[in-house]
Structure 1
Amino acid sequence: MGTPPRLVPFLDQFDFACGRLIQRLTGPSVDSGDGNEVPVEPLTDAEYLWEPVAGSWSIRRRSAGPGPGATVLAGRGEWGRDGGRPHPVPPPVTTIAWRLGHLSEMLVARADHVHGTHTKSEDDYEHVGDAAAGIAAFERGAAAWRSAVDSADDAALDTVGYSTYPAGSDPEVPFIEIVWWMNQEVLHHGAEIALLRDLYRRMR
């Protein structure tokens, strides 16, 4: 089965966005956009967990409990992601760890709800407390989601509820809309992470 032509731009955009985010996290450089390479230092554990303002949401040891304004530490295992509904208004500022963990969790869960067990939720995800493991988790999540999307044919792209992920609009919209949505998740959280890296570099 060939890739549906209308899916190709989405896959290309996803690959570009993920690759650029990884470059921004690991270095040694990233294209500035005009062909010039800008040096990038690898993400450190301190930067990964840096809370830019009081009350930030992050990834925390479960033994420490949720951070300010959070009611749960989502996931299982030693580390959890600050969360809880309804979210505070205005929304909390979140750390690089939170944003990367949120992306990784969504990518893994949605991939499972496309061609896996159709059972995974935020409660099943194991968050991690260091930068290298966080980056590796994102890469695994991106690969899982990429494989799920690449398996879709034209009929699947138009199927409402092709992804059964319950924590979004997946059961109510055609799959092509979820593909678009996940691209914008990587793009906008990737940009936020890049901005946090800029701020951290100037705060040291």
Structure 2
Amino acid sequence: MPTPPRLIPLLEQFDFARRRLADRLTGPVMDSGNGTDVEVGPMTDAEYLWEPVPGCWSVRRRADGPGPRATALTGTGDWGRDTAPAPHPVPPPFTTIAWRLSHLSELLALRADHTSGTHSLTRDDYRTSGDAAGAIAEFDTAATAWRGALLATDDRALDTVGHSTYPHGSDPEDPFVDIVWWVDQELLHHGAEIALLRDLYRSRP
């Protein structure tokens, strides 16, 4: 299926942001932003789970229970991500790389399913990894699934309200092209947050 012309810049932006985050997580080099390669090491498990301030939300062993101000660990499997029902804690808890990467990967995986898959996956079905390598693999799988959903989208679908039935956003009320834009900005801003946390971890006292 030919890619709709107005989807092409959004797809290119997604590919750029995905590659930049993946390189930032794994190395051996990343794009500095001007085309210059900067050396970067792979993320370790200690860094993945690092809590830079007290009271962080993170991913945790289910047997250990949720963290401060969280009431549950979302997902399935031995590890889950701190969460609480709305209204969420104020001020929002600071979140670790593990939390942010799990959130981003879950968002991509579930939106892919609710766009071109079974339209049935929930947060209770998502399995979060307790180690860095597993989380990076989850991100790659989820990003690939979302990209596949985009490639299966025709021009008419871009204008269709509710083309994605993802239940944790405005998808059922918005044209799909707005959702594609939103996912790009989620990847860009969470990728930037994760990059900053990597810099802070490297420079910690």
Q: TM-score range by the shorter chain?
A: over 0.9
Q: 2:70 corresponds to which residue?
A: 70
Q: TM-score, normalised by structure 1?
A: 0.98
Deviation at 1:34, TM superposition (A): 2.3
Spell out structure 1 runs of 4+ moving beyond 6 A. none
What amino acid does structure 2 have at the position aligned with 1:153? D
Question: C-alpha deviations, 1:117-142, integer Å up to 9, x for none?
Answer: 11111111000100000000000000
Percentage of matched positions with identical amino acids:
67
Q: 2:8 corresponds to which residue?
A: 8
Q: Secondary structure at the match of 1:203?
A: coil
Distance 1:131 1:23 in 2: 14
Q: 2:57 corresponds to which residue?
A: 57
Q: Secondary structure at the match of 2:190?
A: helix
Distance 1:159 1:153 in 2: 10
Distance 1:18 1:92 in 2: 25
Unpaired segments of 5 or more residues in structure 1? none
Distance 1:34 1:107 in 2: 27
What amino acid does structure 2 have at the position aligned with 1:46? A
Q: Secondary structure at the match of 2:76?
A: coil
Deviation at 1:5, TM superposition (A): 0.2
Distance 2:49 2:35 in 1: 31
Q: 1:28 corresponds to which residue?
A: 28
Deviation at 1:149, TM superposition (A): 1.1
Q: 1:190 corresponds to which residue?
A: 191
Distance 1:90 1:152 in 2: 38
Distance 2:139 2:35 in 1: 26
Deviation at 1:153, TM superposition (A): 0.5
Distance 1:64 1:163 in 2: 35
Q: 1:139 corresponds to which residue?
A: 140
Distance 2:105 2:35 in 1: 29
Q: 1:83 corresponds to which residue?
A: 83
Q: TM-score, normalised by structure 2?
A: 0.98
